[in-house]
Amino acid sequence: MWPMSEKVKYSLVEAIKSNGIFEGTKIYTHVNLSVVAKNGPKKNATKVLVFAELLHVGDRPNAMALTSFHLLDEKKQLAGCRHLAQNSFGNKDKDMNHCYACTDVIKHPDGARYKAGHFVAMSYYYED
Ligand SMILES: [Zn+2]
């Protein structure tokens, strides 16, 4: 058994895709990364796909807080739903299970695990 107190560390293999999201006064980024474990039972095993959400803080371009970091199980990847956003929804309508700011290129965990991207209205993230 690997002790629970030992956190598995991951090393970045590559950043695959990212999408900047303007939501209210905040700027988030959704990004897919592939990583390998640096320790733990799966050390140096195959690459794992990760979803991360970053919140930009302050004025410096590289100042970001990590608001979500999840390994994506192959069966639990939810594609971005940008193509499903509709004009018929108002700017207050949210779907907490999916992301409407990203295209289907970016894979997400269950929507409860990240903060941004839940507004369904097409006009919220995109102007015609
Ligand atoms: Zn997203």
Coil/strand/helix, residue 126: coil
Q: Over 90: is that where the pLDDT of 24 sits?
A: no
Is residue 74 in some structural domain? yes
Report pLDDT for 112: 95
Is residue 1 in some structural domain? no
Is residue 4 in some structural domain? no
Dihedrals φ, ψ of 52, to 5°?
-130, 145
Ligand 1 geometric centre to CA of 4 (Å): 30
DSSP 8-state secondary structure symbol assigned to residue 106:
S
Tell me the average pLDDT across 63-84: 91
Ligand 1 geometric centre to CA of 90 (Å): 19
CA 85 to chain centre: 18
Is residue 63 in some structural domain? yes
pLDDT category of residue 79 using cuts at 50, 70 and 90: very high
Beta strands in the chain (DSSP E): 10-23, 26-37, 48-56, 64-71, 78-79, 107-108
Ligand 1 geometric centre to CA of 106 (Å): 7
Report pLDDT for 27: 92
Ligand 1 geometric centre to CA of 104 (Å): 9
Of 115, 75, 77, whose CA–CA distance to 96 is shortest? 115
Calculate what percentage of the chain has a pLDDT beyond 90. 51
Instruction: Give the domain range for residue 121.
Output: 10-125
**Between 10 and 18, whose confidence is greater?**
18
- 83, two tokens: 């193509």
Report pLDDT for 1: 46
> How many folded domains does the chain comprise?
1
Ligand 1 geometric centre to CA of 109 (Å): 10
Q: Which residues make up the environment of ion ligand 1, defined by Cβ < 5 Å?
A: 30, 80, 99, 102, 117
Is residue 79 in some structural domain? yes
Ligand 1 geometric centre to CA of 44 (Å): 28
Work out the mean pLDDT of the chain and round it to a whole number.
87
Of 35, 39, 44, whose CA–CA distance to 11 is shortest? 35
Q: Are 117 and 28 in contact (CB under 8 A)?
A: yes
